[in-house]
Amino acid sequence: MSSNPRINFFAWLSEQVNRQDKIGKFAQTATKDKTFPRNSRHLYLFLHYYDLEPENRAAVKKAHSEWRTSRRLAA
């Protein structure tokens, strides 16, 4: 996991593709999607971008929360 407080969500998410959980699955999908909002930091954009079912929404929220935590810890 990156410890750079300036890393954006997409870059952090790209580092998660080998995880064996719902965040890893979300990361694999997002990194393959050329239209994914790669420069955004806002959770609502990711939730709005994907018309998600509850399980997928939970993965997006958990990933975004972990990214924000990693940024705080690195600062």
- Tell me the pLDDT band of 37, cut-offs 50, 70 and 90: confident
Residue 64 has pLDDT above 60, yes or no: yes
What is the per-residue burial (b if ≥16 Cβ within 10 Å, else e) of 46-73?
Answer: beeebebeeebeebbeebbeebeebbee
The answer to whether residues 36 and 49 touch, using CB atoms and an 8 Å cutoff, is yes
Q: What is the mean pLDDT of residues 57-65?
A: 89
pTM: 0.80
